Amino acid sequence: MIKAAVLSAQKYTSLLPHCIYYGQDAAIMGWLRDHDVRIINRTSSFIDEIHATADNGNWTKAIATGAYLRLDIPIIEVEDEYVLYTDCDVLFTENFSAPEDRPEYFSAAPENEIDNWSFFNTGVMVINVPAMRGEMQRIRTETRGRLNGLWKTGRGTYDQGILNETFKDAWNRLNPIYNWKPYWGVNPDAKIIHFHGPKPAHIFKIISNNTDRIPSLYQNMVARSPVSMSHYLEVFDEFNTRNVQVMYRGFIDGFSVSGENLVIGGWICVNGRSVDGLKVYLNGCLAVCDSFVKIEREHVANKFNLSDTMLGFEVRVSVKQTKYPIHFSVFSSDARFRLPSSLGQDLTVAN
């Protein structure tokens, strides 16, 4: 996902990406250098404390050695007073403008529930660098000897647990649009999408009913809003280097208005399953499909090497009760995955 984070940041923002990295040089490092990402090789200043711990069901040293690098940002950064930190599992959709209200220490958004400000997520933070630099010793003192037991406080594990414990009454609120979770629903105003929990590969498997070895926690998170999960999977695909047929099971590539009908054409991967229809939403509301016709799409099958697994279709939807312009979205019949459109994400049909 780090590639998508970098590519989206470079397309939509004026930010200069930096990557804090611990470990031996890996292939991804070459890709990052080729894309002008500054790599900061760093061993966590908490490394001795981390190595002194024992792994348990809620803590592993392998994860901690990477996660705790985030706490070293005030030590690493010596020029800027404020920095934006994000995990690597994010997408930028618009330019980032620093909030006018600068944080006393840092600002963050809620963890799981959008209206629960008692516990924050550290996947996206605006950090007051000199202020946090002055708090490093306090953080060490208050957490010494209990790094692998912070989860018992109910305030999180790893460095997120440290920050929630140490700054529980001293952090600023970051607008959730800067740390928007896909399971919160579709938000056109969201500026940073954070794939908190299930990543795109997990989401694709879950909405494709392939849940083998997928944690139940991830399945439950996708179940909270499968439509928005599918939507943000489509957003992710703009920066995904894999072929579209790997991430999706279909595509919309044609439309027209005929009388009181919107005619939508496309194809869908069926893999031997019967497909009797699709769900179409017009301006956010489920529409009435007047007809669903299966058609030959041999050139598409050949292009994507889909052979007998592909079904071409044409669906007619009544629009007589809908005002123009029309925004439409097409989903599988069980609404578990969305068919992206080659005609544009926010397609508008004007009268």
- Amino acid in the structure at residue 40: I
Q: Which amino acid is at 325?
A: P
Average pLDDT over residues 128-143: 90
Cα distances from 54 to residues 46, 47, 147, 150, in angstroms, run 15, 13, 10, 13
Q: Look up tokens 């939403």; give the residue.
A: 281
Residue range 99-120, pLDDT digits in tens: 777 899 999 999 999 999 999 9
Q: List, for residues 70-103, the tens digit of each pLDDT value.
A: 999 999 999 999 999 999 999 999 998 877 778 9
% of the chain with per-residue pLDDT over 90: 36
pLDDT, one tens digit per residue, over 13-45 is 999 999 999 988 888 899 899 999 999 999 998
Question: Which pLDDT score, from 0 to 100, does residue 247 have?
Answer: 40
Q: Cα 85–86–91 angle (5° rounding)? A: 140
Q: Indicate the pTM of the whole model.
A: 0.71
Cα 309 from chain centre: 29
**What sign for the dihedral angle of Cα 156, 157, 163, 165?**
positive
Is pLDDT above 60 for 350? Answer: no
For 149-161, what is each residue's pLDDT tens digit? 776 766 677 888 8
User: 16: closest CA among 33, 35, 34, 37?
Assistant: 37
So what's the pLDDT on residue 98? 77
Out of 181-195, 217-231, 234-248, 328-342, the most confident range is 181-195
**Which of 93-97, 180-184, 247-251 has the highest average model confidence (pLDDT)?**
180-184
Round the average pLDDT of the chain to a whole number and report it: 81
Is the CA virtual torsion 315, 237, 9, 182 positive or negative? positive
Domain ranges of the chain: 2-178, 246-349
pLDDT of residue 271: 57
The whole-number average pLDDT for the span 228-246 is 68
pLDDT at residue 212, as a whole number: 80
CATH code of the domain occupying 246-349 = 2.60.40
Residue 248 has what pLDDT?
Answer: 45
Structure tokens at 100: 């006018």
- Pick the most confident of 42-46, 178-182, 208-212, 220-224: 178-182
Do domains 2-178 and 246-349 share one topology? The answer is no
**Phi, psi values for residue 278, rounded to 5°:** -130, 165
* Percent of all residues in the chain with a pLDDT value above 70, rounded to a whole number: 79
Topology (CATH) of 2-178: Spore Coat Polysaccharide Biosynthesis Protein SpsA; Chain A (3.90.550)
User: Measured at the alpha carbon of residue 16, what is the angle toward residues 133 and 95, in degrees to the nearest 5?
Assistant: 105
For 147-199, the DSSP string reads: GGGGGGGTS-SHHHHHHHHHTTTS-EEPPGGGSB-GGG---TT-SEEE--SS-
Q: What is the rounded CA–CA span in Å between residue 160 and residue 276? A: 47
pLDDT given at position 243: 39
